[in-house]
A = this chain, B = another copy of it.
Amino acid sequence: MEGPTNISDVIEKYLKGILEDAEQVEIRRSDIADQFNVVPSQINYVIKTRFTIQNGYIVESKRGGGGYIRIEKVNLLADADVLDNLLNDVVGDSINQHDAYAIVNSLFNDGVLKEREANIILSAIDKDTLNVADREVENTLRARILIGVLNRLRFED
């Protein structure tokens, strides 16, 4: 008998309802805030907690006159589960170059990544590219980049 109990859930459902029929929604933040009688920054909260790339959404925005927030729904790829497993089991919040190379290489061998794609990732997480003095900072950064990229690759446009 109980519907959603908080307004964030209501706003989430409203936006996802639109995305049932459309590829994307484009809103003016203050319009939605007015419509649901909340402060504008609550829209940011809803988006940040409920429209992440992990959930299959890409968000773009622009400030100033004619500004907007656009939420786009992206579809899961067939390879998504392979990437899921890696993300959950292998990549922690820190990873060294050797282990990261092994992951990218295995994705290439499995056909998930093309050669050129693998090379791009490898140079992005290369220790000479990152060039951070502290080894642990370097490994943390590498983990974030790898996670960010692999999460993006779970989806098509």
Interface positions of A (Cβ within 8 A of B): 1-2, 4-6, 8-9, 26, 64-66, 114-117, 119-124, 126, 128-131, 141, 144-145, 147-149, 151-153, 156-157
A117 touches B115 (CB 8 A): no
A130 touches B116 (CB 8 A): no
Once A120-B117, A153-B116, A156-B116 are accepted as A-B contacts, the answer to whether A6 and B148 lie under 8 Å apart by CB is: no
With both chains docked as a complex, state the minimum distance between the C-beta of A2 and any C-beta of chain B, in angstroms: 7
A9 touches B124 (CB 8 A): no
Total copies of the chain: 2
B26 touches A153 (CB 8 A): no
A148 touches B119 (CB 8 A): no
B123 touches A144 (CB 8 A): no
With both chains docked as a complex, state the minimum distance between the C-beta of A132 and any C-beta of chain B, in angstroms: 8
Once A6-B65, A66-B6 are accepted as A-B contacts, the answer to whether A152 and B123 lie under 8 Å apart by CB is: yes
B157 touches A119 (CB 8 A): yes
B153 touches A124 (CB 8 A): no
With both chains docked as a complex, state the minimum distance between the C-beta of A65 and any C-beta of chain B, in angstroms: 5
Once A65-B6, A130-B144, A144-B131 are accepted as A-B contacts, the answer to whether A157 and B115 lie under 8 Å apart by CB is: yes
Closest to A156 in B: B119
Can you list the 5 inter-chain pairs with the closest CB atoms, starting with the nearest? Answer: A6-B66, A129-B148, A123-B152, A5-B66, A124-B124
CA distance A120 to B125 in the complex (A): 12
